Structure 1
Amino acid sequence: MFKNMGGRTTNLLSRIVVGLGISGTAVPAASEAQETITKVAIEGIFPPFNYLDSNNKLQGFDVEIAKALCSVAGLKCEFVVQDWDGMIPNLLAKKYDTIISSMSMSAERKKNVKFTNPYYDSPSVFIVQKSSPLKRMQPSDLAGKKLGVTLSTSQASYANDHYNGVERVVYPSSPDLYKALEAKEVDVILEDKLAVYDWLTNTKAGGCCEFRGEDVKDPNYFGEGAGIAVRPDDADLLRRLNQALGTIEADGTYDRINAKYFPFSIR
Structure 2
Amino acid sequence: MYAALTMDEPPKQQTDIARAAALIADPSRARMLKSLADGRALPAGALADEAGVSAATASAHLAKLVEGEFVTVERQGRHRNYRLAGPDVCAALEALALIAPALPVTSLKQSNRAGALHRARTCYDHLAGQLGTALMGALLDRGVLTGYDGIHRPDEALRDRPASYGSDISYELTASGRAQLRELGVDTDRLPPRRPAVRYCVDWSEHRHHLAGGLGAKLTSRLFELGWVRRGASPRVVHVTDAGTEGLKASLGLTL
Which TM-score bucket, shorter chain as reference?
under 0.3
TM-score scaled by structure 2? 0.27
Which structure shows the higher helix fraction? 2
Normalising by structure 1, report the TM-score: 0.27
Higher relative strand content:
1
**Greater Cα radius of gyration, structure 1 or 2:** 2
Higher relative contact order (CA 8 A, sep 6+): 1
